[in-house]
Amino acid sequence: MRKLLLVIVLSLGFGWGGEWWSDPVGGLEEAKKDSKPVMFYFHSEHCPYCLQMETFVFSDEKVSKYMDKFVVISLDIYTPTGRAWARRFNVFGTPTFVFYDPKKDAVISISFGSKSKEDFINLLMKTCEKANTKKC
> How far is it, in rounded angstroms, from Cα 31 to Cα 94?
23
The predicted structure's pLDDT at residue 7: 45
| pTM, full prediction | 0.86
If one counts every other C-beta atom within 10 angstroms of the C-beta of residue 100, the result is: 24
Q: Please, which pLDDT band fits residue 2 given cuts at 50, 70 and 90?
A: low
> How far is it, in rounded angstroms, from Cα 7 to Cα 121?
24
Tens digit of pLDDT for each residue in 46-86?
999 999 999 999 999 999 999 999 999 999 999 999 999 99
Task: Answer yes or no: is 46 within a domain.
Answer: yes
Task: Answer yes or no: is 103 within a domain.
Answer: yes
> How far is it, in rounded angstroms, from Cα 34 to Cα 31?
5
Task: Answer yes or no: is 52 within a domain.
Answer: yes
Domain that holds residue 16: 2-128
Task: Answer yes or no: is 134 within a domain.
Answer: no
Number of structural domains found in the chain: 1
Tens digit of pLDDT for each residue in 32-41?
999 999 999 9
- What is the mean pLDDT of the segment spanning 107-131? 97
Residues facing 19 on adjacent strands: 71
Task: Answer yes or no: is 133 within a domain.
Answer: no
Sort residue 24 into left (φ over 0), alpha (ψ -120 to 50) or beta: alpha
Q: Please, which pLDDT band fits residue 16 given cuts at 50, 70 and 90?
A: low
- Please give the DSSP secondary-structure letter assigned to residue 23: -
